[in-house]
Amino acid sequence: MKILIGGSPCTHWSIAQTKNRETEASGIGWELFLNYRIARDKYQPDYFLYENNKSMSPAIRTQITAELGVEPVLINSALLSAQNRQRLYWVGRRNPDGTYSQVAVEQPEDRGILLRDILETGVAWSEKSYCITATEAKGSNPQQTLSKHRRTMVAEPVRIGTIENDAKNQDHDNQQYRVYSPDAKSVTLCGNGGGVGAKTGLYAVPIKEGKVGIYPNGNGELTQCQSKRIYSVDAKGRVLNAGPGGLGVQTGLYAVPVPEPVNATAEGKQMPVYEVRGGRITIKSKEYPIKLADGFYIIRKLTVTECKRLQTVPDTYAFPVSDTQAYKMLGNGWTVDVIAHIMSHFTGLTEEAVEVLSMYDGMSCGHIALDKLGAEITTYYATEIDKYAVQTTQHNYPDTMQLGDAFQVRAEDWHLPEPEEMEAPANG
């Protein structure tokens, strides 16, 4: 089976292009698309998939449809990921007479994945991320994010202290002893065993006078005994008990007020700490509404790992380049699970060997998608000129046949070389 995939750069067509945006089927953006159509005519794949931005002008969309002979399907990545990313996909299969017909791609079922599900902290102030871009590395500032909705950032709870005990050889920096600013979903659940806060960390919460709660046992049950009762420090202390050990058996437990942090560290940098009270946050003397529990937070950009998860790229996918280049590739890349969903409609994909020509390959998201589907790829050809993208692809998929500039398909004698004819590209 032969498959052609690709999405020509959308820079010239996107509404994000404030100057010299192309709205007609002409210009460099159109010429980049024509490379794909010419490659299809010469390669004659059994199936093809072409992707581009929803924000292109109606005139360009109509002309692409005329050139490829099939209608596009609009899919929002939000159905399969934590990112709002609306893209158009033209998908076709080759008929015996050499023409192409529409592949009926159904909308994927909504997995219900939210932004907090993919964050390393588990905290987000919105359900879905805005579409990540190639400039994600530059980040944004919180004021712009909240006032102009330019990009979703991450609210990270500030660690304010550590609970210590006299247990031998105990690592008190372990998550079970860390205390955070309030939010019951602030820290990612982990697979650690028991302990005070082993799976979630501990949270300092607003309190009232007297007994304010019961600390649950390992089964989540509330037991009325002094070792589990939580009291306010503003009330009288409990009678000291001479009983043996246990969480708070001798004194009871006390909820203490949280001191306001002055600054905190995130991603190795000192960052300002913002306070959330009553669903509002103050930034540079101006209040904004925000969906976070009361407490103190660092506000930061998404990490590379979090951006990989937004694009449903496996955590194991490696970037042998700077974070800046990784952000760029992820912003320009595909939501892998959307591509996998579309290609799952290719009859026989997992039953026969597959040869792929990937135009404008980038970081080889198409290869990742085929791997997820369990396809047997015999040869994977790629046109790509960005040296960092080539380096990254070869690091993860060293057998990829790098062809270089996509414009080469216009040569009269263009053909795909046999693997033995090519020199292996350096993986850098």
User: In the numeric block, which tokens belong to residue 70?
Assistant: 């099939």
* Strand spans (E) along 284-376: 286-289, 295-300, 354-359
- Stronger pLDDT, 272 or 97, i.e. the higher one: 97
Average the pLDDT over 231-236 and give the result: 43
Total-model pTM: 0.76
Of residues 274 and 358, the one with the higher pLDDT is 358
204-213's contacts with Cβ under 8 Å and 24+ in sequence apart are 204/160, 204/161, 204/179, 204/180, 204/255, 204/256, 204/257, 204/258, 205/255, 206/182, 206/294, 207/232, 207/233, 207/234, 207/255, 207/257, 208/232, 209/234, 209/235, 210/235, 211/235, 212/255, 213/255
Give the model's confidence band at 164: pLDDT under 50 very low, under 70 low, under 90 confident, else very high.
very low
Is the pLDDT score of 182 beyond 90? no
| Maximum average pLDDT range among 73-77, 112-116, 247-251 | 73-77
User: 408 or 180: whose pLDDT is higher?
Assistant: 408
Q: Which of the four pLDDT bands, split at 50, 70 and 90, describes residue 166? A: very low
In angstroms, rounded to a whole number, what is the distance separating the alpha carbons of residues 266 and 274? 13
Task: Note the pLDDT tens digit of each residue in 194-231.
Answer: 444 443 344 444 433 344 454 455 555 555 554 445 44
* Cross-strand bridge partners of residue 72: 90
Model confidence band, residue 424 (pLDDT cutoffs 50, 70, 90): low
What is the Cα–Cα distance from 333 to 175, expressed in whole angstroms?
35
Dist CA 261 CA 275 (whole Å): 9
Q: With beta carbons less than 8 A apart as the criterion, state whether 57 and 13 touch.
A: yes
Q: Which domains does the chain have, with CATH numbers?
A: 2-112+314-421 (3.40.50), 140-204+259-300 (no CATH), 206-257 (no CATH)
Which residues, 6+ apart, have CB-to-CB distance to 11 below 8 Å? 17, 29
Least confident of 103-112, 127-136, 192-201, 332-341: 192-201
The answer to whether residue 365 scores a pLDDT higher than 90 is yes
Encode pLDDT of 280-295 as tens digits: 988 888 899 888 888 8
Tokens of 333: 């890349």
Q: What gap in Å lies between CA 310 and CA 313, rounded to an integer? A: 8
Given a cut of 90, whether residue 296 has pLDDT beyond it is no
Higher pLDDT, 359 or 15: 359
Instruction: Name the band, by pLDDT with cuts 50, 70 and 90, for residue 148.
Output: low
Q: What is the mean pLDDT of the chain?
A: 79
What's the mean pLDDT in 187-197? Answer: 36
